Amino acid sequence: MKNIHKNGNAKDNKSRTNQAKTRTQQAETRSDQAKTRTEQAETRTEQAKTWTMEQALRASELSYRRLFEAARDGILLLDVDTGRITDVNPFLVELLGFSHDEMVGKTVGELSPFKDVVSNQNMLERLQKDGYVRYENLPLETRDGRKKAVEFVSNVYQAGDKKVIQCNVRDITERKQVETALIRLAAIVESSDDAIMGKDLNGIITSWNKGAEKIFGYTAGEIVGTSVMRLIPADRQQEENRVLENIKRGNSVAHFETLRQAKDGRLINVSITVSPIKDVTGEIIGVSKVAHDITDRKTAEEKIRQLNVELEQRVAERTAELEVANKELEAFSYSISHDLRAPLRAVNGFAGIVLEDFGAQLPEEGRSHLERIRAGALRMGALIDDLLAFSRLSRQAVNRQNVNTVKLVQNVLDELRPQREGRQLEIQIGNLPVCHGDPALLKQIWVNLVSNAIKYTRGREPATVEIGCAPENDENVFFVRDNGAGFDMQYANKLFGVFQRLHREDQFEGTGVGLAIVQRIVHRHGGRIWAKAEVNHGATFYFTIGETKL
């Protein structure tokens, strides 16, 4: 406030004029005072305004800061002139593994994750020119070596009186992985030789791979959006409806084989697997179908079937032939059995009658010759019997069962007691495992081998016969060893032939059929037989019966 009253006692006129003047001045002064008051009020309003703006700005900055701090994207702020980092948000700190302090002050290019990828200078130039740079898929490595894919977007914007660069870094690693997996799956589907198609619940085809194109001849463009019935032969359309009904009801459909029709009308054998397609809520929205072309397999199967039929026919024919041959052989042996023996009986019988009725009238030599005639007939009878026994072996079925070898050999030794009568014979029996063969035939093997051993040790003192089994690889090898006459190994190949003998009849009697019978029995069991011997030092006969050791 100003003091405006100065002189109260001046001359009248002058004084009045002065008074008027003074009043005017006073009025002016009042007016000025009012003006000042107004100005003061205005100033106060301005001040209030400024305060409010500051408040708002502060609030905005705060919420921006919040966004910056809480964003699920990485954010970098750069100085527009130097390109140096002025601020980094916590998400990026976490993503890259570098601390806030480590990053601030550096250029983006100086940060190792971006080093090779973003040339700082290049980015700055583009930003200054376009105000915007975007890298869609930037591979980078975090401080601890994890591979990440990011989307990198930079903007320049005006912040008050200066320009700022803001870079947003979005981690798209998971999205990329999902995309890659999808691409891979799509590639697998696309490159499959099988036809893979999708259809909706009305049977409208929704997807169609290259395999489907190859098998059925339709391109995806031709067939997607049309009904799957185009592929199904008229007489099988019900089958498709059944499948769709089952899928809609949530039932599983077992893999099945059927016929489909290609674009050119050919019928194709396919094996089909059908599965429901569900949406995220689990509702069935369609069907996926994988069809495998099994035409080749079907052709092969048909060929195998035909070959089998042919084979069976041939087997039947061959069996019939064999049956005929067998019948003939039977008739032949029957005839030998009856007809060959009758004359022998006559030879032996009438020589005997001559001896009986006229022996007294004959000289000694004559009687001796008649005896030889009788002996010859008997021997031939024995040969015929052995030959028949031998030929019977081929016709006889082999009935395999478990056989107690110890008991079997003991029975054989008991039966051969007459042969051992009066002999100094030492028989050693080793370990004899159970075997699986025809008991009667196995017994024949042991009878023949053991009786041979007894026969060919005649004259040995002491004579020894060793019976045993030596497992070899996976087989039981049975053997009969003696210390008898033995034989020369150069004739070993003749041992098992019918009527083959390595000793003279007057040394060791026999028909030469025994070992042939043994060999045939062994062979009928699928086994092997062989011998080792030395003249005057005994022989060993080995055999297996074609069974795997138990």
Partner 1 sequence: MNQPNQTEILLVEDSQDDLDMTLRALRKANMANHIQVARDGAEALEFVFCEGAHAARKIENIPKLIMLDLKLPKIDGLEVLKRIKGDPRTRMIPVVVLTSSKEQNDVIKSYGLGGNSYIVKPVDFESFAAVVQKLGMYWLLLNQPPQT
Q: State the residues that interact with partner 1 by CB under 8 A.
A: 333-334, 337-339, 341-346, 348-353, 374, 377-378, 381, 385, 388
Could you give the 3-state DSSP secondary structure of residue 106?
A: coil
User: Please, what is the minimum distance in Å from the beta carbon of residue 443 to partner 1?
Assistant: 16
User: Please, what is the minimum distance in Å from the beta carbon of residue 545 to partner 1?
Assistant: 24
Is 362 or 427 the residue whose CB approaches partner 1 more closely? 362
CA–CA distance, 45 with 37 (Å, rounded to integer)? 13
CA–CA distance, 131 with 138 (Å, rounded to integer)? 20
User: Please, what is the minimum distance in Å from the beta carbon of residue 370 to partner 1?
Assistant: 11
- The continuous run of DSSP H or E covering 517 comes out as helix 514-524
Is 256 or 334 the residue whose CB approaches partner 1 more closely? 334
User: Please, what is the minimum distance in Å from the beta carbon of residue 394 to partner 1?
Assistant: 15
Is 388 or 427 the residue whose CB approaches partner 1 more closely? 388
Show the CA angle centred on residue 504, arms to residues 498 and 505, nearest 5°: 80
Cα-based torsion angle of the residue sequence 338, 341, 342, 345 in order, rounded to the nearest 10 degrees: -150
Task: List Cα–Cα distances, 157 to 68, 166, 431, 487, in angstroms.
Answer: 16, 8, 103, 116
Is 233 or 366 the residue whose CB approaches partner 1 more closely? 366
CA–CA distance, 476 with 434 (Å, rounded to integer)? 10
Is 349 or 497 the residue whose CB approaches partner 1 more closely? 349
Is 333 or 457 the residue whose CB approaches partner 1 more closely? 333
Residue 454: both structure tokens together: 């007894």
User: Please, what is the minimum distance in Å from the beta carbon of residue 495 to partner 1?
Assistant: 27
- Which of 108, 33, 39, 116 has the alpha carbon at shortest distance from 75? 108
User: Please, what is the minimum distance in Å from the beta carbon of residue 384 to partner 1?
Assistant: 9
CA–CA distance, 95 with 141 (Å, rounded to integer)? 10
User: Please, what is the minimum distance in Å from the beta carbon of residue 349 to partner 1?
Assistant: 4
Is 374 or 520 the residue whose CB approaches partner 1 more closely? 374
CB atoms within 10 A of CB 251: 11
CA atoms within 13 A on the CB side of 523: 11
